[in-house]
Structure 1
Amino acid sequence: MKIVRLILIFLFAAMMLLGAFNHLYAPETYAAFIPEFVPESFANVLSAIVEGLIGIALIVPKYRKWGGFGFFVLMIAFLPIHIWDLLKNTPAIGSKMAAMIRLGIQFLLIAGGWWIYKATPKAN
């Protein structure tokens, strides 16, 4: 199980670091997911910072446990966005089916973050 956890840790870290980069490199990618009442540039910069920090924390063994917790919390924070997208007439992700699949994946990501947090021993 340790190897599965390590694979998941580095997969999630890569997702976070690539996502952080993409929020700054191609912020228009996320425009349709950002609610109108949130300034788009603020959302992208904040997301890039948070995702970058979580990605780094997942890589560094001393902070890995907290990286897993941060990932878990971030995935919960993004959950309303994916529910909102599913409820729109035309989801930003494409189709209603894609939005439903994405919502299901979100729950798996939440569980994965929690598992990393709980299964990772505290670093000294």
Structure 2
Amino acid sequence: MKIFQLIVLFILAFLMLAGAFNHLYAPETYKEFIPEFFPETLAHMLSAIAEAAIGFALLIPKYRKWGGLGLFILMIAFLPIHVWDLTKDTPAIGSKVAAMIRIAVQFLFIATGWWIYKTYRTKS
């Protein structure tokens, strides 16, 4: 089980750090996900900071519980964006099926963040 936990942690850390980098390197990737009323540059900067902080926290044993909690909170915060995307005639993610899968994956990320938090909250 320990090896499985580490694999999950490193995959999530990589995804968070890659997402943070991508918000700064290729922000157009996320353009359609950002509501028009929210300043686009601010959305990218806040997302990049949050995702980088979570990614690094997941890599450092002392801070893993906070990385898990951060992931849990961030994925809940992003959930309405993905539900909103599903309601569009043409979702930014591609198709209605892809948008539904993305929401299912979002719930998986939420659950995984909570699992990490609960697993590591007594270890640090």
Q: Normalised by the size of structure 2, how large is the TM-score?
A: 0.96
Find the aligned partners of 1:47 and 1:40 in 2 and give their Cα distance.
11
Find the aligned partners of 1:40 and 1:11 in 2 and give their Cα distance.
27
Residue identity matched to 2:13? A
Match of 1:10 in 2: 10
Residue identity matched to 2:94? G
Match of 2:45 in 1: 45
Shift of 1:38: 0.4
Match of 1:73 in 2: 73
1:55-94 alignment, distance < 5 Å: 55-94=55-94
Find the aligned partners of 1:104 and 1:88 in 2 and give their Cα distance.
17
Find the aligned partners of 2:83 and 2:34 in 1 and give their Cα distance.
13
Unaligned stretches of 5+ residues in structure 2: none
Find the aligned partners of 1:72 and 1:2 in 2 and give their Cα distance.
21
Shift of 1:84: 0.3
Kindly report the root-mean-square deviation, in angstroms, between the aligned alpha carbons of the 2 structures: 0.7
Shift of 1:5: 1.2
Q: Normalised by the size of structure 1, how large is the TM-score?
A: 0.96
Shift of 1:3: 1.4
Runs of 4+ aligned structure 1 residues displaced above 4 Å come to none
Deviations 1:41-89 (A, max 9, x none): 0000110011001100000111011101100110110000000001111
Match of 1:122 in 2: 123
Unaligned stretches of 5+ residues in structure 1: none
Tell me the SS of whatever aligns to 1:111.
Answer: helix
Aligned length: 123
Residue identity matched to 2:123? K
